Amino acid sequence: MQSDDLTAEQHAKMRDALSERMKYFRMLKERMEQEHFHPRDPLFVRVDKLLEAAHDLWVHLHYRSCGMTGGNIVNYPGDRTPP
């Protein structure tokens, strides 16, 4: 199975679920900034990276939920050819 096999509705459902989880980590990062966490603190760095990766995934899911590819489709050697 590949992400191409999922429907726009399935992508939208994942996007919406991810949005809810991202809210927690955005609030956590804001709280850490308010508490003056050092920008290179290991926890702060990981929360920041998590938010960056989650945003990247959210954008991908959003494009797919709109019927756009959001990037190049990967064809893996030996895999089935899409119809």
Distances in whole angstroms, Cα of residue 82 to Cα of each of 10, 38, 71: 19, 48, 16
The pLDDT score that the predictor gives to residue 68 is: 77
Q: What are phi and psi of 50, to 5 degrees?
A: -60, -45
DSSP code at position 70: S
- How far is it, in rounded angstroms, from Cα 9 to Cα 11? 5
The pLDDT score that the predictor gives to residue 1 is: 84
pLDDT one-digit tens code per residue, 15-72: 999 999 999 999 999 999 999 999 999 999 999 999 999 999 999 999 999 887 655 5
**Domains in the chain: boundaries:** 3-65
pTM for this entry = 0.77
- How far is it, in rounded angstroms, from Cα 59 to Cα 71? 10
Q: How confident is the model at residue 83 (pLDDT cuts 50, 70, 90)?
A: very low
